[in-house]
Amino acid sequence: MLQITQLDAVTQYKMARTVLGRDLYHVAAYFVDGLLIDTGFAYLAEKFYQELKNKHVKRIVNTHHHEDHVGANYLFEQRQGLKAFAHSLARPLIEKPPEKLKLYRDVVWGVPQPAHPEAIGATISTAKHSFGVLHLPGHSHDHIGLYEPQQGWLFSGDLFLSVKVRVLRLDEDVYALMDSLRRVINLPLARLFCGSGKVLDNPGAMLKQKLAFYEELEQRIELLHQKGWEAEKIRDAVLGKEGVWPWMSQGEFSKLNLVKAILKRKA
């Protein structure tokens, strides 16, 4: 599915692979004043490109290198000579995508074709808007957000997801994520545009709740760790037993990852 929604000056392209009549996970790209933020995933790349090809895309930014945010980069590059901008840490990863993905990622998104982004500077401008580029690592080390202070917009990639995310991806850095949340929490934000397709008005309170969730978790985990509890026992007490995530993601996402990541700095 590819669903197009107009949100004032911003167009949202929300996408998911549909299997047996059911949409798998959603991801969203945004288009505003000639600027395209993220390009979806491999399975829908051609469809997405066809939708955008006559819309006068002037610039493309990838919030990070993950396969669900860079899928159609190569089509804009090959057919319009348009290279995306991304954090310098993202460039080698987009140039050389993994040969193989974990099974669930292969089913949901697919391996993207290589593309050749350029390093983004401190700002990126369109005719009507100027966006500050914020380095917001945690979800991935190369993750950025685009902040438009006049409108109070933040295009936040996968920074937010939801308030209480009880699992962590193996390569996520929970402390960097907390610092990134601290960085945006006091910005005067009117609207948050998430890579998942969520759009939150006046998102300050939700961002604060997300940070508070991690801070509280950190305290509780620390306390039990001091009592000598093992990570698995702490997980069961604080986050509950694992659900389907570790099985579905072949261990890439789990509650235990979150506990261990929090303990890493405490060790």
| Site for Zn ion, rule CB under 5 A | 66, 158
* 255 closest CA partner among 158, 168, 175: 168
**Residue number with the smallest Cβ distance to Zn ion:** 66
CA separation for the pair 103, 210 (Å, rounded) = 29
Contacts of 253 by beta carbon, 8 Å cutoff, 6+ apart: 167, 168, 169, 170, 245, 246
Task: Show the tokens assigned to 262.
Answer: 């929090």
β-pairing, 59-61 vs 84-86, is parallel
Q: Which residue has tokens 């907390």?
A: 178
Identify which of residues 12 and 156 has a Cβ nearer to Zn ion in the complex: 156
Instruction: Decide whether 66 or 105 has the Cβ nearer to Zn ion.
Output: 66
- Residue 51 CB, shortest distance to Zn ion, in Å, is 22
Range list of H helices, 18-90:
45-52, 73-80
Nearest distance, CB of residue 136 and Zn ion, angstroms? 12
> In the complex, what is the shortest distance from the CB of residue 24 to Zn ion, in angstroms, rounded to a whole number?
15
Considering the complex, state which of residue 35 and residue 93 has its C-beta at the smaller distance from Zn ion.
93
Name which of 37, 38, 2 is nearest 17 in CA terms.
2
Name the minimum Å distance from CB 35 to Zn ion. 20
Number of neighbouring beta carbons within 10 Å of residue 263:
16
The residue among 144 and 238 lying less far from Zn ion, judged by its C-beta, is: 144
In angstroms, give the least distance from the CB of 2 to Zn ion.
19
Q: Which is nearer to Zn ion, 173 or 231 (CB)?
A: 173
Residue 266 to residue 253: CA distance in whole angstroms? 21
